[in-house]
């Protein structure tokens, strides 16, 4: 979607937020509307409902009122007002008053808009002809949200909705949303026994079960395999560090509100919000020569962000983040080679998980350059180097202005999952700023002290978030190599348990994960349990199967049973797992 099309869609959705506000105020007199922005895939409007309680069951009534109001809406009219005028116009609404005073104090102009019968305080974009353009919309859900996102403020009622210019796009989105609800990683995570949360531990701090840990370790092992093939070296760092470390890097100023502070005995520390400053200290611990470079430190470790409780969402947004992080220290002449190595790792990784992707070259906001660290020359050089890499590998890309890190431009991989949703996943950042701020060096071929550059690489990024995406991408039916349990052995009776246990040992000797369900239940119940857990292969062992020279195998999702020799099935599984690609029996 072009920037212009995106802006038009934002205007449409923001206009729908106004229409929603008007409808709710008509249905529930005395209610106050707060803010109603467009967001990704839709819009919302916040309300102080007073004593009124509404739920999702009220949405059809509100939507009906919106459609009744719509024909009377003409073109939005706008008028600039003074703070005094705004206070008179919106004196009944404490939320609008707070915003008006805040805007005026910041030197911003105050503007009202009105489509004919609903005066509001707003400066955002709107559609030209609301009665004609606001036809294809749907209200989605009701939630709670603190005013201004601050837990100290009042809890408001937030109504979410979506809208499109074309009916077919709305229907496609609603169908996708329905499919996404079936795949919700929070529900499937419980069904598949992958992770849990405990109020005794704290919100946003996931606890992985043995089954979930198997998946996390499988992804971790694969990442390490890809990185070690490129010569990256494993390191290990502590989870805390001094404030000064992150003040030097600039992360303290950027993330101060989201940093956990730790008090020691006479010293103060923080839980690390990033890993690069620690890795830089490993580099700085010894003199370095140009012959030593590139030096690549790879690690899968925890970092921490004190996210607001209301923003936490399953594994998608957590406070303890298992991050796959690599930092490569390089000479200028090694930039293209090492950026290409990172690109190769990422594209191989995406292919393994059947993830299509598009690429964004994320650069600074050209209107806010002073808010970024580093010199103009270094930013230009870094952006040009990344663009050169993308041209050399013949990748199409688009520019994401304002999407860079605060210290470096980056290449971002936006992946598309199996139902068409997009997620920002992997990243390659070219950084000249951190080496300067930490004053790290190497001796060049003439013995002169020279500044290295750094490449920051995340492949899966947050493993928690990546697992949430994968659960929904596969709808919980993981490929065999990734499945916590690859084969379920089901004995028909107690006399068949021993043979199942023997088979389990043979699978284990071939690094195949299997389990025996020896519960005192019917075979039907055991099969249903295995199906619910989405185990790739089921083997039922009864008298008939015990006498056969072949195994009788049911593949996940298949109605038929396939007979195959034990050696052939073992070979099939070993190949399927080693290739990380499911294949037909």
- Percent of the chain past pLDDT 70, that is, above it, reads 99
Nearest CA-CA partner of 237 in 271, 194, 195 = 271
Give pLDDT, residue 202. Answer: 94
Out of 88-92, 94-98, 307-311, 408-412, which region has the weakest mean confidence (pLDDT)?
A: 307-311
Give pLDDT, residue 308. Answer: 82
pLDDT tens, position by position, 513-563: 999 999 999 999 999 999 999 999 999 999 988 888 899 999 999 989 999
pLDDT tens, position by position, 283-339: 999 999 999 999 999 999 999 999 888 788 999 999 999 999 999 999 999 999 999
Q: Is the pLDDT of residue 4 over 70?
A: no
How does 130-159 read in b/e, with b if 16+ C-beta sit within 10 Å?
bbebbebbbbbebeebbbbeeeeeeebbbb
pLDDT tens, position by position, 182-225: 999 999 999 999 999 999 999 999 999 999 999 999 999 999 99
Nearest CA-CA partner of 68 in 114, 117, 31 = 117
Out of 35-49, 105-119, 510-524, 561-575, which region has the weakest mean confidence (pLDDT)?
A: 105-119
Give pLDDT, residue 107. Answer: 83
Tokens 């994960």 belong to which residue?
513
Q: What is the token pair recorded at 118?
A: 């609903």
Q: Is the pLDDT of residue 367 over 90?
A: no
Residue 485 or residue 117, greater confidence:
485
Ordered domains of the chain (ranges, CATH) = 3-175 (3.30.980.10), 190-473 (3.30.930.10), 480-579 (3.40.50.800)
Residues 262-290, mean pLDDT to the nearest whole number: 94
Helix (H, G, I), strand (E, B) or coil at 385: helix
Residue 253 or residue 277, greater confidence:
277
Q: Is the pLDDT of residue 5 over 80?
A: no
Q: Is the pLDDT of residue 123 over 90?
A: no
Average pLDDT of the chain?
94
Q: How many CB atoms lie within 10 A of CB 557?
A: 9
Q: Is the pLDDT of residue 109 over 90?
A: no
| Position 3 confidence tier, pLDDT thresholds 50, 70, 90 | low
pLDDT tens, position by position, 32-84: 999 999 998 899 999 999 999 999 999 999 999 999 999 999 899 999 999 99
**Concatenated DSSP letters for 195-247?**
EE--TTT-TT--EE-HHHHHHHHHHHHHHHHHHHTTT-EE----SEEEHHHHH
Nearest CA-CA partner of 212 in 468, 507, 528, 426 = 468
Please give the Cα distance from 366 to 244 (Å, whole number). Answer: 30
Q: Is the pLDDT of residue 2 over 80?
A: no
Residue 523 or residue 109, greater confidence:
523
Give pLDDT, residue 371. Answer: 87
Residues 460-483, mean pLDDT to the nearest whole number: 96
Q: What is the token pair recorded at 251?
A: 């992360």
Report the length, in residues, of the chain. 585
- Continuous H helices in 28-82: 59-69
Give pLDDT, residue 301. Answer: 96
Give pLDDT, residue 475. Answer: 95
Residues 80-104, mean pLDDT to the nearest whole number: 92
């Amino acid at each position: 979607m072009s920037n212009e099309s995106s802006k038009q869609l934002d205007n449409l959705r923001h206009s729908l937020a106004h229409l929603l506000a008007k409808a709710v105020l008509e249905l529930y007199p005395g209610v106050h509307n707060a803010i109603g922005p467009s967001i990704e895939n839709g819009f919302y409007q916040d309300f102080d409902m007073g004593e009124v309680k509404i739920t999702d069951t009220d949405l059809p009534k509100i939507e009906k009122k919106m459609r009744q109001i719509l024909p009377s809406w003409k073109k939005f009219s706008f008028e600039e007002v003074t703070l005094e005028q705004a206070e008179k116009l919106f004196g009944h609404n404490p939320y609008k008053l707070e915003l008006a005073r805040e805007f005026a104090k910041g030197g911003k102009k105050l503007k009202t808009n009105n489509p004919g019968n609903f005066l509001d305080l707003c400066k955002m974009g709107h559609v030209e002809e609301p009665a004609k353009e606001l036809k294809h919309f749907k209200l989605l859900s009701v939630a709670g949200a603190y005013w201004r996102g601050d837990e100290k403020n009042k809890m408001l009622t937030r109504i979410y909705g979506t809208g499109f210019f074309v009916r077919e796009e709305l229907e496609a989105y609603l169908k996708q949303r329905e499919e996404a609800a079936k795949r919700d990683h929070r529900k499937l995570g419980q069904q598949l026994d992958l992770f849990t949360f405990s109020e005794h531990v704290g919100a946003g701090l996931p606890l992985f079960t043995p089954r979930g840990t198997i998946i996390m370790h499988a992804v971790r092992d694969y990442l390490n395999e890809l990185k070690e093939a490129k010569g990256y070296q494993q390191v290990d760092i502590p989870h805390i560090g001094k404030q000064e470390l992150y003040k030097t890097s600039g992360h303290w100023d950027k993330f101060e509100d989201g940093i956990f502070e730790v008090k020691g005995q006479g010293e103060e520390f923080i839980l690390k919000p990033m890993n690069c400053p620690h890795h830089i200290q490993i580099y700085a611990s010894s003199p370095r020569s140009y012959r030593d470079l590139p030096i690549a430190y790879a690690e899968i470790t925890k970092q921490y962000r004190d996210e607001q409780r209301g923003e936490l969402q399953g594994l998608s947004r957590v406070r303890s983040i298992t991050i796959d992080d690599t930092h490569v220290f390089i000479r200028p002449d090694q930039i293209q080679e090492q950026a290409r190595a990172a690109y190769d790792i990422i594209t191989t990784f995406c292919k393994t998980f059947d993830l299509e992707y598009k690429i964004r070259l994320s650069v600074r906001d050209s209107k806010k350059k002073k808010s970024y660290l580093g010199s103009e020359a270094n930013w230009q050089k870094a952006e040009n180097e990344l663009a050169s890499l993308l041209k050399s590998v013949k990748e199409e890309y688009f520019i994401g202005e304002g999407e860079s890190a605060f210290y470096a431009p980056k290449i971002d991989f936006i992946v598309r999952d199996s139902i068409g949703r997009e997620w920002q996943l992997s990243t390659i950042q070219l950084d000249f700023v951190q080496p300067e701020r930490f004053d790290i060096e190497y001796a060049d071929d003439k013995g002169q002290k020279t500044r290295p550059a750094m490449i920051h690489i995340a492949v899966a990024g947050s493993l928690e978030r990546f697992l949430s995406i994968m659960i929904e991408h596969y709808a919980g039916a993981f490929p065999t190599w990734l499945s916590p349990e690859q084969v379920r052995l089901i004995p028909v009776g107690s006399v068949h348990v021993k043979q199942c246990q023997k088979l389990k040992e043979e699978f284990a000797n071939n690094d195949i994960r299997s389990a025996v369900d020896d519960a005192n239940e019917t075979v039907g119940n055991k099969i249903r349990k295995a199906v619910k857990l989405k185990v790739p292969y089921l083997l039922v062992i009864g008298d008939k199967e015990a006498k056969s020279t072949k195994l009788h195998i049911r593949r996940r999702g298949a109605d038929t049973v396939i007979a195959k020799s034990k050696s052939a099935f073992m070979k099939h599984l070993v190949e399927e797992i080693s290739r990380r690609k499911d294949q037909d029996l």
